[in-house]
């Protein structure tokens, strides 16, 4: 698998763990607020390192890192993602996977085989706004519901999260999202931050007052809702 980015140390991406973050390229969505547009729309096929180079790096981090976060783009698009994860596990590290949930069968296989230790799934918006928020005109979100079900029943640690963008979200959307993931133990609303590498320019975060009201709406359905970014 070609690796298109590596953050050698993060204390934030994997809750409670020290980890590195691997970035894969390619995504089946075109979310306007995506903060890694260069991994979605302007992919350099050469990447930055080979698998072999990555595992040499990882071997030197035993006793320093607890785990590896795999993000993108959409990591489950990688045909060899399962083999890559197996190698990480055999090296003695935990694995956290970020996913948009649109490849439920691959996710299900990984969870069934207990190859993932933590899953973070993005919930883009309420069902009515999912297509426009994902940048895809015709979008069937059945895969999203299947992935939610898989995660809730997996016995694996997880979180659901939504990036809140002023141009795409209003307070009622967060109530609808909470209904989608009803029964979830952890839901995070993370405010949009302009990375300078977004698909669409000129987007804005939600004002703090709206964020707090959004959390209040979601808390009517879910027991644990946390705001990130204020």
In the prediction, which pLDDT does 45 show?
59
List pLDDT tens digits, range 78-90: 999 999 999 999 9
- Give the whole-angstrom CA distance, residue 118 versus residue 213: 28
In the prediction, which pLDDT does 47 show?
64
Return the axis-axis angle of helices 104-112 and 142-152, rounded to nearest 10°: 10
In the prediction, which pLDDT does 115 show?
98
DSSP 8-state code for residue 75: G
Structural domain for 216, as ranges: 5-228
Burial of 163 (0-12, 13-18, 19+ CB in 10 A): buried
The mean pLDDT value for 36-60 works out to 82
Confidence of residue 102 (pLDDT cuts 50, 70, 90): very high
- Give the whole-angstrom CA distance, residue 129 versus residue 180: 13
The mean pLDDT value for 23-44 works out to 85
**More confident position, 25 or 44:** 25
Full-model pTM:
0.95
Write a three-state SS string for 17-51: CCEEEEECCCCCCCCCCCCCHHHCCCCCCCCCECH
Give the other-Cβ count within 10 Å of 83's Cβ.
11
Per the structure, the count of domains in the chain is 1
Confidence of residue 49 (pLDDT cuts 50, 70, 90): confident
Is residue 46 predicted with pLDDT exceeding 60? Answer: no
Is residue 230 predicted with pLDDT exceeding 80? Answer: no
Is residue 138 predicted with pLDDT exceeding 80? Answer: yes
Confidence of residue 42 (pLDDT cuts 50, 70, 90): low
Residue 205 sits in a domain of what CATH number? 3.20.20.70
The mean pLDDT value for 112-128 works out to 98
The mean pLDDT value for 15-41 works out to 91
List pLDDT tens digits, range 151-207: 999 999 999 999 999 999 999 999 999 999 999 999 999 999 998 888 899 999 999
List pLDDT tens digits, range 64-80: 999 999 999 899 999 99
In the prediction, which pLDDT does 195 show?
86
């Amino acid at each position: 698998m070609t690796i298109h980015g590596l953050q050698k140390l993060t204390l934030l991406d994997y809750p409670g763990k020290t980890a590195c973050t691997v970035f894969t390229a390619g995504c089946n969505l075109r979310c306007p607020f995506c903060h890694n547009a260069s991994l979605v729309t302007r992919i350099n096929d050469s990447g930055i390192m080979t698998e072999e180079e990555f595992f040499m790096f990882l071997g030197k981090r035993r006793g320093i890192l607890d785990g590896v976060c795999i993000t993108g783009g959409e990591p489950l698009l990688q045909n060899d993602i399962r083999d890559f994860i197996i190698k990480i596990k055999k090296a003695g590290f935990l694995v956290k996977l970020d996913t948009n949930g649109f490849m439920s069968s691959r996710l299900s296989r990984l969870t069934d085989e207990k190859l993932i230790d933590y899953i973070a799934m993005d919930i883009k918006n309420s069902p009515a706004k999912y297509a426009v928020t994902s940048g895809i005109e015709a979008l069937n979100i059945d895969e999203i519901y299947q992935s939610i079900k898989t995660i809730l029943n997996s016995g694996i640690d997880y979180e659901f999260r939504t990036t809140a963008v002023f141009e795409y979200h209003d307070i009622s959307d967060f109530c609808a999202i909470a209904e989608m993931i009803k029964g979830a133990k952890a839901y995070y609303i993370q405010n949009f931050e302009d990375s300078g590498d977004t698909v669409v320019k000129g987007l804005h975060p939600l004002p703090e007052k709206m964020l707090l009201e959004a959390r209040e709406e979601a808390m009517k359905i879910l027991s644990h809702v946390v705001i990130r970014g204020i």
